């Protein structure tokens, strides 16, 4: 429902309250007039549509991040390295206990600086990271829960073997950012060729 629609409901509720209170005051009643109930909250489907609309409205800004030359070049460079899947899985296994000097290269490079540069374009951002064509981490704003995202929808849907598309996940509590958030993932492309994926997590309370 539009803001004008809810404003109209509020006005009608106020008028109804006035009609209830006026007779009691005219009769000199000693009892306090009953407080009119507040308008009902919007139905769940209306609230869901509202949040979905807000998320979809952010897609152009998120795609702009994915198209930043520093992000594209970093994904290209990591794809060129052709890391063996066994090596990626070992990095993922060691990730949670990895020392700071092993994590820092992913948080302090041209790609991560590009993510930070665009943060004001998506104010509700609580996390952002780019992945290569195997789902391995390329760069991030902060340490992620996992190094490898290849088994998760965010990468599988946004990369999809080079045929990825935008993907809005369901809201949930995120361990990395310690917030109730929703992740939006989009392809990272070199021209028309999808070469990786970008995920941005948005704090629900700030949408």
One digit per residue, pLDDT tens: the chain, 207 residues? 443 343 333 434 444 444 444 444 444 444 444 555 655 544 555 556 778 888 999 999 999 999 999 999 999 999 999 999 999 999 999 999 999 999 999 999 999 999 999 998 998 999 999 999 999 999 999 999 999 999 999 999 999 999 999 999 998 888 877 888 999 999 999 999 999 999 999 998 888
Tokens of 66: 């994915």
3-state secondary structure of 201: strand
Q: Is 98 helix (H, G, I), strand (E, B) or coil?
A: coil
Quick check: 36 and 17 in contact, CB under 8 A?
Answer: yes
Domain locations in the chain?
Answer: 1-40, 44-206
| Interatomic CA distance for residues 59 and 56, integer angstroms | 5
Domain range 44-206, CATH class: alpha beta
Task: Give Rg (Cα) of the chain.
Answer: 24
User: For residue 38, what are the contacts with CB-CB under 8 A and spacing of at least 6?
Assistant: 13
């Amino acid at each position: 429902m539009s803001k004008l629609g809810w404003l109209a409901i509020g006005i009608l509720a106020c008028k109804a309250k006035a009609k209830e209170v006026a007779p009691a005051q005219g009769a000199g009643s000693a009892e306090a007039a009953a407080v009119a109930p507040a308008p009902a909250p919007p139905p769940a489907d209306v609230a869901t549509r509202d949040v979905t609309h807000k998320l979809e409205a952010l897609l152009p800004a998120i795609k702009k991040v994915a198209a930043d030359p520093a992000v594209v070049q970093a994904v290209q460079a990591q794809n060129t390295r052709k890391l063996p899947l066994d090596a990626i899985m070992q990095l993922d296994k060691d990730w949670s206990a990895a020392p700071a000097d092993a994590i820092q290269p992913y948080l302090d490079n041209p790609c991560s600086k590009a993510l930070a540069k665009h943060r004001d374009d998506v104010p509700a951002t609580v996390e952002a990271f780019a992945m290569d064509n195997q789902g391995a981490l390329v760069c991030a704003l902060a340490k992620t829960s996992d190094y490898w995202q290849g088994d998760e929808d965010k990468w599988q849907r946004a990369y999809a073997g080079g045929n990825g598309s935008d993907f809005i996940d369901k809201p949930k509590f995120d361990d990395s950012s310690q917030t109730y958030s929703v992740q939006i993932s989009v392809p990272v492309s070199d021209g028309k060729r999808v070469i990786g994926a970008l995920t941005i997590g948005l704090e629900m309370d700030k949408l």
